[in-house]
Structure 1
């Protein structure tokens, strides 16, 4: 009796017209993922962004008032020609005034960035820029109103009496200090966004 070729089970099944099911992870068809990235929402976030900007800007008024109370004045002496000469070591208060303003605005900027981040349904670059612009306006208002409050709190008095000791109100000798608050707000908001793991920053969960 002639030997018949012994076929494998797979070959016998294929001869009957049935395709055998291969096993193993290599046999699975590659899965295709179609994940649409969420787009930046601009038009819908414009009005909330305006509200954020105006609200944050108003924070500058109490910050200016608080700075005028915390910043130390300089004690000066009236010299010839109605000029003011600071006493020894009193000129260091010029740096103290600047440092107090920077610390206040940095703290307010960090709190602002964190508070705006809690607006989950409005998270995104539009509201972030609104918070930064509002912080810039707030710092400018704090600068202007703080100097006005300080001048009212420490009036110079009589400049005609030579040798008189007077209190010179706190001063801010650099306008670049207004950048501290918006930079702190951007830092806080950016840190929260980097920590977030959602593509839409969690907007759909709000």
Structure 2
């Protein structure tokens, strides 16, 4: 259990750090939106600039989906720690990583394109990119969980290739025959010596009756 808990902690922290790093990349790649100030505190987007809001969200979703896919495959490759703890750590780490990606990405975008304090009418300002749909944060953990469940469904081994019969810990290793050594699937019988015949089965006791016509045949 301790080894699996350490692996689960490493999975969660790894997903969180990877999400934070992708957030920095998203903050540099997400396009900003330019507006012209029409009145105090209000602006109108320039031609085609409103599409950048969708572009920024699409880049964020692609980053989250890619990270969820790669992290799920990497966790599945760790054969010895496959199980509920690894899946739970992956889901929690992916959710935290998606939140960190959005938070850090918006902070980087704000540093690159700071909002003006009091722009005058007619001035063109640049607004930093934002993750406007909270549903985008669900893409990374959702895809990571689905990939792990899909790989588990494709696995032909009941132990998912871990080598242990139990879902937690290493207390029940799978034997050579694929069963628990404490409960063998079949009992071994000694072979007969070469040239000998197996002993005859004991004669069945006479039941004292027979069907009509069987004794005459």
User: Of residues 29, 45, 53 in structure 2, which corresponds to 1:70?
Assistant: 29
Please tell me the root mean square deviation across aligned C-alpha atoms, in Å. Answer: 1.7
- 1:201 partnered with 2:121: no
Segments of structure 2 that go 5 or more residues without pairing to the other structure are 165-217
- 1:95 partnered with 2:50: no
SS of the residue corresponding to residue 75 of structure 1 reads strand
TM-score normalised over the length of structure 1: 0.74
- 1:104 partnered with 2:63: yes
Q: Which aligned pairs between 1:115-154 and structure 2 lie closer than 5 A? A: 115-154=74-113
* Alpha-carbon distance in structure 1 between the residues aligned to 2:145 and 2:80: 18
Which aligned runs of 4 or more in structure 1 are off by greater than 4 angstroms?
none
Q: What is the aligned partner in structure 2 of residue 172 from structure 1?
A: 131
C-alpha distance after superposition, 1:133-181 (max 9, x if no partner): 1000000000111100000011234633221112111111111211100
TM-score normalised over the length of structure 2: 0.71
How many residues end up aligned between the 2 structures?
164
* Alpha-carbon distance in structure 2 between the residues aligned to 1:100 and 1:179: 14
* Alpha-carbon distance in structure 1 between the residues aligned to 2:115 and 2:42: 12
Q: What is the aligned partner in structure 2 of residue 191 from structure 1?
A: 150
Segment of structure 1 superposing worse, 133-142 or 190-199: 190-199
Aligned 8 A contact 1:79 1:162 in 2: yes
- 1:46 partnered with 2:5: yes
Segments of structure 1 that go 5 or more residues without pairing to the other structure are 1-41
* Alpha-carbon distance in structure 1 between the residues aligned to 2:25 and 2:146: 24
C-alpha distance after superposition, 1:17-43 (max 9, x if no partner): xxxxxxxxxxxxxxxxxxxxxxxxx66
* Alpha-carbon distance in structure 2 between the residues aligned to 1:201 and 1:91: 48
Q: What is the aligned partner in structure 2 of residue 16 from structure 1?
A: none
User: Per residue, is there more helix in 1 or in 2?
Assistant: 1
Tell me the CA shift for residue 88 of structure 1. 2.5
